[in-house]
Chains A and B, each alone.
Chain A
């Protein structure tokens, strides 16, 4: 009975039910779609890593990403349960790029040096043609046939690879029939050849092992770890873990959007049900009079919301699925060309399904709960009365105070610095603001209508008094508009801040005229570094002024990996700078020269709660060392990775690293750019791992990448904007419907159709203007909170005020106001006066 009635009400108010249900659809779509996108990317990476692992049960690598002595193999073999242990070398090397290479041309390959005796027990080498590597092969290589085709190589051809001291040439002797996994383009050489290529001597970078059958994997792993000590990493292929970590950060951020959209949907639904309850007081009163219990009435409304929740969630999941598909269609080429990882399709985990369904249905029903309770409280006497105005006023006052309280409380959430509390604070803030809105609508309408009354001289005043006479209803509309637009302004704030942050890093970090960069520097793993000769050769070029370099080492601290960059304190500032956090300055760079001092980037400092001057224990290849924090600052290249900076002197002493990863150089004043660039090109030609960029070009390239990703954010903003338009249309249509009789009266006493139309339009404009104002304020605050929350999860960025976004939002808000009023204004003007007067 309740279900039938609920269903009939839903169907009977088709247009409105559709509008509110759409709000749920959008919320679920974002939650479901976004959650389907990131796990899929994470899975793609994990899958690629796993498939590369072959039959290997366990991999040992250095905890510091350093080569190590081959006797680790013996230690491993002494552990019970280990059957085979094979020493090997595995490093990523960039491929020399030609200037006219396609943007998605392969940029790097993984060079694997296998110990031929043991390696074949772990890996299959199914030959399609040619031969397997032999024991004495120092300059032969085998690779997958499909990869060879991509590289344009055949049997007997020469593969040129960058080496520490220049280049090395390998002859392709065998082609394998296995299919290449994108992201794992491998070239296999003999172990001695790889050691020679990377200048490792007898050292190796990994040991792969298999277990005897029936052994307890976890136990063997544990025993291996115990036998090797903390300098080695056992089991995990951790080389890509930093990339995974930054993907997970993004996942947190995207989840916030989804939850946010659903919260907005919740408000729209709550508002819609509030109106519906007010509208149906007579019906409810009658039902109570003829014997329906309070609980029955409540159940009726909850059933109605349940229907909407279920339908909205189902459609939302469908839409989210399509959204994720669209995303992959758009993003796959970009991802594949930049990091050579093949991403399949969206992956929806059971958790995503559960979250989306629970949130979608839950939010809808929860949003209807308060209105449903209010409906239960409607007395049967309502059935006897002629329709009265909705009685909101007194409770509006109370609620406004509670709301103001909530807004104040939410401010504390922002100051905590904890991402959970900031997120919670943002939601509390929205609720608080929504409660305050109805109480302040009247005074604001009085003020805001003045300019409007210039445009709509007669109708403006009527519109204003319509709006003021029913602050409850006006409050609902204003709140709905506010919520929709607040989410847009907040999103735009965040996007603007992210981009401003990166641009600022870009400008400050890379202020030199020239950059010599390995091809995959942002991934910072496995690059071939150059000896000090390269920097010296650059310095020797005429008209080159300051030259400074970056060096890279890995350390462990607090059980986690961190990359340590070595800079030259004397020259660094002449070619680059940090984007300093409050309390730090360029002085910190000078301090690096005076002992074991560090500069930490924002992510690292936030993760470890660091303050300047604090001691930091680092596990280095030479043992544990105590450093002190000189300052906190960010640079562009490492904005997303946990990074520490110290002097190159410290890096040499504690990590034994002397090779340069990146060379930055300035021209002297008045030098001819073209000549200098040409001279530098000649120097770089001997170092195929490096590519010469003029900083302007590099910057332009980076900006291009940004701009292609901003499209995704634009889509997101649009997805957030649509529900707010729906909310406005919905509430306006309701307010026109509710006033049918009044409009009939106006027509009867002499208002022309045009005047009625203009009156509805003026009211809509006034409402949307106030809602837009509120939305802008709330959105700015929320945006600030979001930026702070991202900082708290380790993605620090300076807050940037979204001027253009704000203007766009205001325009959109007002245009929406006009659009939303078109339909209702027309139907109001067309009302049959007699019928309208008879309607209750």
Chain B
């Protein structure tokens, strides 16, 4: 495991609680995690184990109750909303379960959104280049309703990559896809880390998709219960889940 490489994500003692008093729920309980540059890491665990909370905190979409998060050397806790927004725009890419494309924009326009928000002059060229890399070179001007689910998710991945982020956060990216498309997206995300050198942190329920990652983090009740390296075999994640009693 390449723990010695520069960490893109560094989390220490990360805690998130919701509610107060008797109704208090601890979603994350003093979690520590380091994600080195270029690593594809997947987080699994039963519903409510805290994996989505972890993702939201990493993306700066939500604020932790305690603990520190550093993304690409920037401590999130110190940033005001606008700086945080800027960091998200430039250093973090998001891939959502429901794709979240703007229905009235075509593929290029959707993929270039973060660049345009950033005022980049070459937004269209860069977005086009990424769309070609994810295999949508012939679908540049189709609107979301003219694309299949897998194609829509590719647009979303191109959008996430268009600003050359250090970290791509993917929340159940295959949750809404058929198994064939899901595999394609898993493969694409592996390519994102191996060929294009981005760190990818993916939350998924699907052991088969998890097997595309290099490393598997298992969570339960807000804590990390296992952290294993994967060898690319389809059974790796399943075996890890069984060992942890999560299957």
Contact = CB atoms under 8 A, between A and B. Distances in A.
A355 to B, nearest CB: 34
A383 B104 contact: no
B100 A286 contact: yes
Contacts of A11: 104
Contact of A9 (B55, B59, B104, B116): B104
A94 interface: no
Interface string A371-408: 00000000111011010000000000000000000000
Contacts of B109: 4, 8
B159 A293 contact: no
Contacts of B103: 12, 283
Given A290-B113, A290-B159, A291-B118, A384 B104 contact: no
B56 A384 contact: yes
A758 interface: no
Nearest to B87: A291
A840 interface: yes
A134 B59 CA distance: 103
Contacts of B94: 286, 289-290, 383
Most-contacted residue by chain A among B52, B59, B159, B163 (CB, 10 A): B59
Overall SS of chain A's interface: helix
B105 A5 contact: yes
A317 B94 CA distance: 46
Interface in B99-139: 100, 102-105, 109, 113-114, 116-119
Contacts of B116: 1
Nearest to A283: B102
A735 B159 CA distance: 31
B89 interface: yes
A840 B98 contact: yes
Given A286-B100, A291-B88, A386-B98, A1 B117 contact: yes
Nearest to A290: B114
Interface in B59-81: 59, 61-62, 81
B164 interface: no
B62 A381 contact: yes
A292 interface: yes
Nearest to B61: A380
B48 to A, nearest CB: 15
B37 interface: no
A384 B171 contact: yes
Contacts of A292: 85, 89, 117
B113 A384 contact: no
A289 B104 contact: no
Contacts of A1: 116-117, 119
Interface string A277-291: 000001101111111
> Which interface class (under 10, 10 to 19, 20 to 34, 35 or more) fits A?
20 to 34
A4 B104 CA distance: 10
Contacts of B89: 290-292
A294 B88 CA distance: 13
A296 interface: yes
B104 A291 contact: no
B90 A291 contact: yes
B102 A289 contact: no
Nearest to B55: A384
In this complex, which of A9, A283, A288, A290 has the most chain B Cβ atoms within 10 angstroms of its Cβ? A290
Contacts of A294: 81
Given A9-B104, A282-B98, A386-B98, A381 B56 contact: yes
B117 A384 contact: no
A283 B104 CA distance: 11
B86 interface: yes
B82 interface: yes
A290 B88 contact: yes
Contact of A291 (B55, B62, B85, B98): B85
Contacts of B159: 290
Contacts of A293: 82, 85
Contacts of B98: 282, 386, 840
Contacts of B114: 290-291
Contacts of A379: 61-62
B123 to A, nearest CB: 8
Contacts of B61: 289, 379-381, 384
Nearest to B156: A286
B187 to A, nearest CB: 23
Interface in A1-59: 1, 4-5, 8-9, 11-13
B240 to A, nearest CB: 25
A287 B109 CA distance: 13
B117 A289 contact: no
Contacts of A383: 94, 96, 100
Nearest to B162: A290
Contacts of B90: 291
Contacts of B82: 293
Interface string B151-184: 0000000011001000000010000000000000
Nearest to A296: B117
A479 B85 CA distance: 37
B204 to A, nearest CB: 14
Interface in A194-222: none
Contacts of A9: 104
B118 to A, nearest CB: 7
B59 A380 contact: yes
A289 B116 CA distance: 14
Given A5-B102, A290-B94, A291-B88, 5 more contacts: A11-B104, A286-B94, A291-B85, A379-B61, A840-B98
26 contacts: A1-B117, A1-B119, A8-B104, A8-B105, A13-B104, A283-B100, A283-B102, A283-B103, A286-B100, A287-B102, A287-B113, A289-B59, A289-B94, A290-B88, A290-B93, A290-B94, A290-B117, A290-B160, A291-B90, A292-B85, A292-B117, A296-B117, A380-B61, A381-B56, A384-B52, A384-B96
Interface of A: 1, 4-5, 8-9, 11-13, 282-283, 285-294, 296, 379-381, 383-384, 386, 840
Q: Which 3 pairs across A and B sit closest by C-beta, in order of nearness? A: A291-B89, A12-B104, A286-B100
